[in-house]
Structure 1
Amino acid sequence: MSRRSTAHPALIALGAVGAVGVACAVWGVGIERHLYTVREVSAAALPPGTAPLRVLHVSDAHMAPWQRRKQDWLASLADLQPDLVVNTGDNLGHRDGLVGIRRAFEPFAGTPGVFVHGSNDVHGPTPRNPLRYFAGPSKRKITVEKLDTDALDRFLGEDLGWADLNNRAATVRVGDRDVDFFGVSDAHRDWDDLDVLPEAIAGLGTREASRPLLGVTHAPYQRVLNRFTDLGADALFGGHTHGGQVCLPFFGTLVANCDIPLSQAKGLSTWTHGGRSVPLNVSAGCGHSIYAPVRFACRPEATLLTLTARDTPA
């Protein structure tokens, strides 16, 4: 009598888990990180009686010169004809990343815009163990490659005409009206100087009640969002989190690399502080470190956010 051999159930389970793991890795590394998408949302944020404002929010390109698919997609967003662009930093991901950033954003020349820095607009990327993010926000490196931030700022500021909001305020002409902005440099590296903002905003002159005031940061730390809200921002913009980059389906973000609640680490939500509630948009970004080329359950994105008028004053 022959005896039928059967695999041990544990081996079958182990093989199944391994197959799922391989499939997830193939999807995250080879497919999803290239599935660029535009998230279209709207929020009532502007002073009553104000015309809508179509804002293209881009963030965290982490650009390397060879990433032409990402460059082409970013360039194609100019076809959306936004009223203005908000760039929340981490544009560079390689010492020669400005080559790709120029190719990606040149079609936006003439479109009003603003920008702030993330750390990867100043320092080059370094290899990291992604599991360390579960221990809290990542720490700065002692030895890093210095990037050509001045060249990046000349391109964004002079060639494109976008306003630099790194611990500054600015009035930007958008169509036939003015929009006021203020912002900070990367709070994740403690480069934010919140104390200079009241004077910077006062320097914009007498503000009409109908003039929007928007706050822009790279890293959406609670201290920054709270201060922005106190200063009267009508809406808040942030990046940095990558939306978690690797998320769990049906659960969402696992880590945010800052102290923002995980439920608000990507997408449009409401930030409440000091009796005020304002829209907050945190972009999941469209890139990743060259040392962590993966996205899972978190597609690379840009946001087309239409800000509309509130029914009542803030």
Structure 2
Amino acid sequence: MPVFSSPAFQRVALGAVGAAVAGVGYASMIERNAFTLREATLPVLKPGSSSLRVLHVSDLHMTPGQKLKQAWVRELARLEPDLVVNTGDNLAHPRAVPAVVQALSGLLSRPGLFVFGSNDYFAPVPKNPLKYFDKDHKRVYGAPLPWQDLRAAFAERGWLDLTHVRRDLEVAGIKIATAGVDDPHLQRDRYDTVAGTPNPLADLSIGLTHSPEPRVLDRFAADGYDLVLAGHTHGGQLCLPGFGALVTNCGIDRSRVKGASRWGAHTRLHVSAGLGTSPWAPYRFCCRPEATLLTLVAASPDRPVSDSGRGVSESEAVAR
């Protein structure tokens, strides 16, 4: 009897197919909607500074019908962060601006900073997922999205657009020097427009970019920024236990695909795994959608970067 028609082989094959179907179902129906709040402590402030609570949100990829995600994001306002940082890819649909603004409405009353990503400018399109393994693949852009309307809504509520500008502000008694670039994933970054040492009178300097491309991170680090915040990677989106992310979809290595790390001798990097997915790839595996509450504290030799990596349920997030 040929091995392929043997009962044993057929049982194994059916088991493999069943496991694959179950995995796809879990990734697309359960984990994709298992939103979590991560917490991390970063020692980046000048000695003697009081702590600063920063909520980092990214990659909402919102569509009008995603009511569960919208409700979860609205609850983040109860955390009452000192500062909100949004690193882009808010949209995934031409009529999603009201859904994004309503979901973020409570947070828009807090001090905020933002830059945009490729999926704020262009709608996502279906693509072969294997192309993510080719960093040089030709990018295909979808229809233009109403990013100007989203920018106007954010700015009207007081959030600061850091696209190719430097801004100084004070939050909770902390003087902050900030700068940002447009999305490096689209080759729209023009770092020279913000180049230079941040204000030396600031207690903290923050750089923003959507995609954490090394060429941009190197420039922020060379200028002496304390902290750079980015998104774009989705934490790899599909990860394997014991291995981690398969791809980063940018130039950084897999070990930095999400969470806190160092970039150079001085600069800390935080990459958000984000809260959404493309509508054409609606799944996550071993990589829950997330927002991150960063507690920034004064730097000292005995306070290394820590990232709890612990998921916090919606009810726990609201209670904090």
Normalised by the length of structure 2, the TM-score is 0.89
Alignment of 1:67-82 (within 5 A): 67-82=66-81
Which residue of 2 is the match for residue 24 of structure 1? 23
Corresponding residue number in structure 1 for 2:217: 225
2:144 alignment partner in structure 1? 146
Q: Which residue pairs with 2:242 in the alignment?
A: 250
Q: Distance in 2 between matches of 1:145 and 1:138?
A: 19
Match of 1:186 in 2: 183
Q: Structure 1 CA distance, aligned partners of 2:169 and 2:26?
A: 41
Which position in structure 2 is the counterpart of 1:107?
106
- Whole-Å Cα distance in 2 between the matches of residues 80 and 95 of structure 1? 30
Measure how far apart 1:175 and its partner are: 2.4
Describe the SS at the equivalent of 1:226. Answer: helix
Alignment of 1:181-220 (within 5 A): 181-198=178-195, 207-208=200-201, 210-220=202-212
How far does residue 178 in structure 1 lie from its aligned partner after superposition? 2.6
1:7 deviation in Å? Answer: 5.2
SS in 2 for 1:215: strand
Give the number of equivalent residue pairs.
297
Residue 41 of structure 2 corresponds to residue 42 of structure 1: yes
- Residue of structure 1 equivalent to 2:83: 84
The equivalent residue for 2:10 is 11
Aligned partner letter, 1:195: D
1:169 Cα deviation from its structure 2 partner: 1.1
SS at match of 1:233: coil
Whether contact under 8 Å (1:169, 1:181) holds in the other structure is yes
Find 1:174's aligned residue among 168, 171, 174. Answer: 171
1:229 is paired with a residue whose SS is helix
User: In the alignment, is the contact (CA less than 8 A) between 1:246 and 1:298 conserved in 2?
Assistant: yes
Partner Cα distance (2:223, 2:50) in 1: 22
| Runs of 4+ off more than 3 Å | none
Label 1:240 to 1:44 Cα distance change in 2 as closer, same or farther (>3 A): same
- Shift of residue 158, structure 1, vs aligned partner: 1.2
RMSD: 1.6
Secondary structure at the aligned position of 2:245 is classed as coil
Structure 1: how far apart are the matches of 2:242 and 2:99? 34
1:122-153 CA-partner distances (Å, limit 9, x unpaired): 11111111121112265332x53111111110
Find the aligned partners of 1:170 and 1:303 in 2 and give their Cα distance.
23
**Counterparts of residues 294-309 of structure 1 (less than 5 Å):** 294-309=283-298
User: Corresponding residue for 1:132?
Assistant: 131
Gap runs ≥5 in structure 1? 1-5
Letter in 1 for 2:193: V
Residues 170-189 of structure 1: per-residue CA shift (max 9 Å, x gap): 12231233311111110000
- Greater C-alpha Rg: 1
Cα distance in structure 2, aligned partners of 1:245 and 1:56: 21
1:259 and 2:251 are equivalent in the alignment: yes
| Counterpart in the other structure of 1:162 | 159
Letter in 1 for 2:167: A
Partner secondary structure for residue 50 of structure 1? coil
